[in-house]
Every structure is written in C-alpha cells, then in structure tokens.
Chain A
Amino acid sequence: MSPAVTRKPGGHPRSSRTLGFYAALMYAFLHVPLLILIGFSFNASRFTLWEGFSWRWYHAVFTDADMADAAWNSAVIAVVSTLISTVVGTLAAYALWKRGSRLLSGSLYLSLVTPEIVTGISLLAFFQWAFRWLGWRLGLYTVILAHVSFSIAYVAIVVASRLRTFDPALEEAAMDLGATEWRAFWRVTLPALAPGIAAAALLALTISFDDYVITSMVAGVDSTTLPMVIYAMARRGANPSINAISALIVVAIGAVILVSERLREA
C-alpha cells in the first residue's frame, strides 16, 4: 500500500473538474439507456411517445400465461443448477487448493473463455448424439445440465479466490487436535469459506437466470425460459411489455443482491 497522501498528484482543480465531468458522462452512458427503458414501461401509449403514466404493461405481463410459465421455468432452472454447481464448484476448488491438477483447472479456465455459442452448440451436439442411444429428448433437464456446466467454473474461481486468503494452519490445528479430514473441512474450512460460497452461488444464480444463448440451443419445446420469451418479443418488434418485464428483472436481481449484501454483513 502506498502511504496516505493528502495532496492528490495532478490534482489541478481545473483538470480534476474536467475529469469529474467526463466521469459523469460515462456513468450516464452506462445507466441512462436502462433508466429510459424502465421509464417507458410506465407509458400509457404503445408507441415511443409519452402519453402519461399507466400500469397497463405490467398488467399485460402479469396476465400473460406464457410469461408466467417461462418465469417459473427460469426460476426452477436457476435454483436447481445453482445448487448443483455450487456444491460441485466448491468441492473442486477446495480439492484443487489442496493439490492442483493442471488438466482440471486448465479446463475450468478454458470453459470460462469458451464463447457461449460454442458451448451451446457443443452441448446440443453431445446431447443429440447421446440421446440416439438413450432415446431421450431435450427438455428442462438438458437446460439444467447446460447451466450447471457453465456455472461450475464461475463458482470454482470465486471460491478459490476466497481460499487464497485462508490459512491452512487452521485446518492443521483442527487435525492435530483429533479432527478427521472431513470434520476439519466441515467445521473449520467450510464456515470460513461461507461468504465466498454465497457470493459464488449468487453469481451462478444471476448468470443462469439471464442466459439466453446456451439455453436457446439446448431447450426443448416445454422448457422456454424468460430470456427466450423476451428475445422472441424483441425480434418481433416494439412491445412495451418488454420494458415492463425488463424493469421487473432489474428490480428482482437488485433485490437478490441487496438481500445477499445484508446477509453478508449480518
């Protein structure tokens, strides 16, 4: 760490004001498009002209049966795939922290940089090939498997970064005092990792809930998700219902993150 400085270098009042103005522009670029989108979800008109405040598009969203089915599918897929990938990813990160494996950690990193569309088509090709022998079809469980597949690496990396600050001497001490390997892991290491694991699960949950590209490749006829519905509506043309559902998603994800921050502080 550098020592505390009172005078910031290059801190010309004028140049720092320019920098502040520039930063405000950049923050506007990052956030204003989404805010406008949400604002127009309350528009009474179907068109992009403001004609007064209305809840009609929210009403349209909540009475749409397809939307409800898709939201339910998305929630089931996100929760189940997060549970599985959090367990698998955490166990893998812990085991690799004990002793590395170049093949496994290399593959985890590789799966992170693999373009989504390539993951999607390779899982599709694999499922189709395997199902010829098994007589299965694409459905909710193929989507869950696909989401588990891409979430594991995210979980493993977040948990591994937490393990880097964990002192192995704590575990050794537990074992010196008579704990078995498993007991030392369960009673000492796992509680220390808990905040990292929670953060990892949250990441997996939001990525799963948001995924369109991979899901659309491996989804069956009965496993349409919310992003798939939004995508189809977006391609069809202007429809303020998309604004409303987008606003709901932004608020829902915001609430999940807020709750998790509170839990971490508690």
Chain B
Amino acid sequence: MSRLRFWFLVPARLWLLFLFLAPLAIVCAYSLLTRGTYGGVERPWTVESYQRLPDPLYAAILVRSVALSAAATAICLVLAFPLALFISRATRRKNLYLHLVILPFWTSFLVRTYAWMFLLRDTGLVNTALIGLGFLRHPLPLLYNDGAVLLGLVYGFLPFMVLPLYATLERLDPALLEAAADLGAKPWSVFFRVVVPLAKPGIWAGAALVFIPCLGAYLTPDLLGGGKSVMIGNLVQNQFTTARDWPFGSAVSIALMLLTLAALGLFYRRASKELL
C-alpha cells in the first residue's frame, strides 16, 4: 500500500518544498536583510524593517485594512442574512436562487471590479446620468476613496457570506421556530433569540471567508481606491515594485500573513468546520 502513496505524494512534496516553503523562507530571510543599493537585498542582517512597521504612515495603512475588512464583513453579514433566509425558505426554484449567488464567483474578479469603475468614475454612468438629468453640474467624486473600496469589497465577497449562512439556515429545524412562536414570541424575537444563535457557526464561517480575503485584498483598493485608499496588499506591491525596498516589503508580507493567521484562528474555533 504505502509504495503507491509514496510515489503519489512525490509531486506534491516537490510543490511543498520548491513552490511553497522555499519562497516563504526567502521572504522571511529578506525581511531580515538590508536594502541593496540598486534594489535587491544585502547583508548585514537586521530587524530594522520590522522596527519601521509601527511608523504612523504604515500603521495607518494597517489600521485602515483591518477597519475596512471588518466593515465589509459586517455589511456582508447584514446584507446576506435576509437573502440566505429567503433562499432557505424558498419552496420553488431554490437551485436557481443558489446558482444566482454562485454565478459571480465564476465571473472574472477583475471584470467585476472594473464594472464599478465604469459606473463610478467622473465620466462613469452614474455621474453622466445624474448630470444628464440635471441633478448635478459637476461629477461627484464617487471613485478613489474608502467608500468605493468598501463597496468593491462587499460586492466582491458577498457570495462567500451567503453560502455558509444558507447552509446553516437550511438545516434549521422549523419546529423550533414554531415552538417559539407558539410560546408567544414575536417574529423579531424569534429571529434574534432563536434563528441568529442557531446560525452562529455559519455566521463565523462566513465572517472568516469574507474577512480573510478582504485583509489581503490588492486589486479592489488598487482599482477603486486609486492610491488614495491604500491597503496592506498595495503597500507590499509598492515596496516590491516602485519603492524597490524588498526587505521592508517582505516584513510587511510577514505581518500580513500573521494577521491573516490570527484572524483565521479567531474565526475558526467558532465556525462550523464543515463550512470552511
């Protein structure tokens, strides 16, 4: 038995070594080196890159990333819960409703983000329409701010919140709701005191699936924030390209990985394991 297993694991172990562990190890090493004169890295070894992380300029980016991700997660939860409830209660066409949620997942993320640029920019559809109808003289600055990034994040990751919520609500025993109602609970109190507590594993799973990709988002803040609403991912990219400070970029990457793992640890314990 074990011979076959051994050979089957050879390619995966090569992947693990050369395309996963080695690149991570290099980033760890670079984060502890000095910036080279022409980009790249040089000795001596130092922790200077990590000491620069609390600098107000960079700390603000870290705080903004966490805040935007938390806000996006909260908004997704509020928007997704009634939708998941609707799908789980649908008696007909349930599969269609589900597929309509999953469909965006199969559509290019870049294209979906661009759709909002098309709508929101100064010459975009919203401004053109409002000016054309006489509501505005000058275009509203809808793009390139925190709000646009938040909208893009919510739009991009909403399906990840709907699906785990649907999965838990679907399995909710309707008899419990009837019992609560029979005992005199009002619909709202049935919702908040029976439905929501029972849906908690799904809520945490959805929160993990939204919060974690938001935290490492690059494309959304890059296109919709346009350099005015920068998140950690953009800082990493900037250090590796324009700024050519690989040690600092590596240190920011490590910080981002640690934040991601911390968030995963926080959510994972409370989430339904089969939904992640």
Contacts and interface: CB of A to CB of B under 8 A. Distances in A.
Interface of A: 2, 5, 8-12, 15-16, 19-20, 22-23, 26-27, 29-31, 33-34, 36-37, 40, 47-49, 87-89, 91-92, 94-96, 98-99, 101, 103-104, 107, 110-111, 113-126, 128-129, 145-146, 148-149, 152, 156, 181-182, 185, 206, 209-210, 212-213, 217, 227, 230-231, 234-235, 238, 242-243, 246, 249-250, 253-254, 257
Nearest to B89: A8
Contacts of B264: 113
B157 to A, nearest CB: 11
Interface residues of B, number: 90
Given A182-B4, A246-B108, A107 B9 contact: no
Nearest to B128: A48
Q: Is the interface of B mostly helix, strand, loop or mixed?
A: helix
A16 B89 contact: yes
A12 B114 contact: no
Contacts of A33: 112, 115-116, 118-119, 155
Contacts, number: 240
26 contacts: A2-B174, A10-B177, A11-B89, A19-B86, A26-B82, A26-B83, A29-B155, A30-B158, A37-B114, A40-B118, A88-B11, A88-B15, A98-B1, A107-B16, A115-B213, A116-B218, A121-B27, A121-B240, A125-B250, A149-B19, A182-B4, A209-B108, A210-B110, A213-B219, A227-B110, A253-B106
A29 B91 CA distance: 23
Contacts of B9: 91-92, 95-96, 101, 104
Interface in B240-264: 240, 246, 249-250, 253, 256-257, 260-261, 264
Contacts of A249: 108, 111
Nearest to A150: B19
Given A9-B181, A10-B181, A49 B111 contact: no
B131 to A, nearest CB: 10
Interface in B149-175: 155, 158-159, 171-175
Contact of B218 (A34, A117, A257): A117
Given A27-B100, A98-B5, A210 B108 contact: yes
Contact of A212 (B3, B20, B91, B110): B110
A49 B217 CA distance: 32
Given A9-B177, A115-B260, A37 B86 contact: no
B215 interface: yes
Contact of A121 (B215, B219, B236): B236
B178 to A, nearest CB: 5
B251 to A, nearest CB: 12
B100 A2 contact: no
Interface string B111-142: 11011111101011100100010000000000
A199 to B, nearest CB: 12
Interface string B1-31: 1111100110111011001111110110010
